[in-house]
């Protein structure tokens, strides 16, 4: 049962990773269009909530403020993608009893980040960015911490997936 649950989570991870890669192969126009939709929603929400324009709030021109917000949202999206991926990977590795779970999860995150940025170099108008690999890997590290927290909570509260003789905090490390 535990191994099957872990394999299911690994399958979810593969699908999630394919989603990450699908964003990487978007050309610059498509990628910018996706980001613009999110930025538009954020700007409308902030302006409606504060009754001030983006320019008033930031002290910059609207185009400068939108460019800064776009960059921030894109970096945050990278971070969140890798946080989620790593939390799922760590829980899967725990359930299938893989040795060196944390190190393996970190490797998966770093490998995916490097490959993700490399894929972008093949997309029209886009390039790979070492800084994005660092953002992605910081998301990976956060996902590892989140995965440890979730595993400990599930174990503490006797969740049936983690209730077994050798489950303890020590199974999470290495």
pTM score, two decimals? 0.82
**What is the domain range of residue 152?**
2-31+79-172
Query: Which pair of structure tokens corresponds to residue 14?
Result: 């593969």
Quote the pLDDT of residue 144. 96
The interaxial angle of helices 101-120 and 130-156, nearest 10 deg, is 150
Quote the pLDDT of residue 4. 79
Position 36 in a domain: no
Position 62 in a domain: no
Number of domains the chain contains: 1
Position 68 in a domain: no
Q: Per-residue confidence of the chain (174 residues) as pLDDT tens digits?
A: 567 788 899 999 999 999 999 999 999 899 999 999 999 999 999 999 999 999 999 999 999 999 999 999 999 999 999 999 999 999 999 888 777 899 999 999 999 999 999 999 998 988 888 999 999 999 999 999 999 998 888 777 765 544 554 544 444 544
Position 55 in a domain: no
Alpha carbon 24 to chain centroid, angstroms:
14
Quote the pLDDT of residue 167. 47
Angle made by CA atoms 165, 13, 94, in degrees to the nearest 5: 15
Alpha helices in the chain (DSSP H): 2-24, 28-50, 54-58, 62-95, 101-120, 130-156
Position 137 in a domain: yes
């Amino acid at each position: 049962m535990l191994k099957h649950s872990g394999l299911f989570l690994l399958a979810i991870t593969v699908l999630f990773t394919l989603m990450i890669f699908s964003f990487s192969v978007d050309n610059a126009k498509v990628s910018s269009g996706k980001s613009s939709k999110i930025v538009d929603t954020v700007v409308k929400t902030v302006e409606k909530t504060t009754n001030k324009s983006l320019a008033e709030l930031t002290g910059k021109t609207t185009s400068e403020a939108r460019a800064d917000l776009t960059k921030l949202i894109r970096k945050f999206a990278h971070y969140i993608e890798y946080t989620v991926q790593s939390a799922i990977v760590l829980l899967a590795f725990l359930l299938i009893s893989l040795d060196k779970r944390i190190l393996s999860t970190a490797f998966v995150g770093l490998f995916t980040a490097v490959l993700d940025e490399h894929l972008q170099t093949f997309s029209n108008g886009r390039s790979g960015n070492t800084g994005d690999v660092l953002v992605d890997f910081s998301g990976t590290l956060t996902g590892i911490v989140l995965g440890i927290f979730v595993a400990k909570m599930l174990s503490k509260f006797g969740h049936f997936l983690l209730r077994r003789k050798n489950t303890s905090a020590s199974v999470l490390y290495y």
